[in-house]
Structure 1
């Protein structure tokens, strides 16, 4: 095999696909006319390669079930942390830390779930439920009367809504972060 044979061998796949320039095709065909080895190689390269089906050893359904289970566990952990977070830093504890903490919670939750609905559920529901439970406990302990218990419902909604506003501000920051990341 000489230098021309190596060049012809490299050009054969492009030749079979019709991707060569006319001048290169002329050169290759003239070489094939004079070289027996390259002519045999050209004949072999025209035959389609048998495609072998490869069976996967991975059970996709089982793999996706495991992934969904792990994601569900992470979601439960995040909801539990947010509920504890809600109790520790809420307005009910006479603390204004909730402004910054719920904004940060909104950013993190939106970046993880990418859903305003989930941000709302994670930030509003724990406080709303906690405020209602607190009202019922105070009622059953005799600290408030029935009329004050009834007022606990709009109060619980108001407390949840205030925290929700700051969480939505945080989720808008999260959305902005994602948009900036996409534009890069």
Structure 2
């Protein structure tokens, strides 16, 4: 057999073992191996499985994944802190209507990162509620003639309504995140 045909024979062996050759080409390989002892040896060697050797890796997977997860968590926290800062900075207590956008961004970011509705509600409701309570209670001296209990009830109700308004826009952002995840899953 010529050197060119031997090279073709060797090149076709992987396809032959996978059963990817046409019937005629597979028969040619079998006939060539029958007529040549060297090709028979090559055919038998190619059928034998190679010894599987464990390769020692210098990479510790658990440490690598811990490091990656730590970085991702840090980036998530940084993004969340920026969103939270912008949301609080533009809240209704600062007499700004930019809170509508930033609380939607806060709700979207929290939901996309943690996929937890309770966390979205907590992060959008609790800080504004506490801030609103403090702000209204700090103005008690300006509330002419109201008693402490009456002013406290007014503070609770006012802070609650303020927090609900902010929470509503965070929930709108959360719904955008939920819908985008559902669209991504369906496609």
Task: Give the shorter-chain TM-score range.
Answer: 0.7 to 0.9
Deviations 1:150-174 (A, max 9, x none): 3322322221111111111122223
Q: TM-score, normalised by structure 1?
A: 0.78
**Residue segments in structure 2 that go unaligned for 5+ positions in a row:** none
Secondary structure of 1:48's aligned partner: coil
Distance change (3 Å), C-alpha of 1:69 and 1:11: closer
Within-5 A mapping of 1:1-184: 1-138=2-139, 142-143=141-142, 145-181=148-184
Is the Cα contact below 8 Å between 1:82 and 1:122 reproduced in 2?
no
Instruction: Note the C-alpha offset of 1:46.
Output: 2.1
Distance change (3 Å), C-alpha of 1:91 and 1:46: same
C-alpha RMSD of the superposition? 2.8
Report the count of equivalent residues: 182
Q: TM-score, normalised by structure 2?
A: 0.77
**Residue segments in structure 1 that go unaligned for 5+ positions in a row:** none
Is the Cα contact below 8 Å between 1:103 and 1:167 reproduced in 2?
yes
Instruction: Note the C-alpha offset of 1:41.
Output: 0.9
* Structure 1 stretches of at least 4 aligned residues deviating more than 6 Å after TM superposition: none
Query: Aligned partners of 1:119, 1:54: CA distance in 2, in Å?
Result: 46
Query: Aligned partners of 2:79, 2:133: CA distance in 1, in Å?
Result: 22
Query: Aligned partners of 2:76, 2:15: CA distance in 1, in Å?
Result: 53
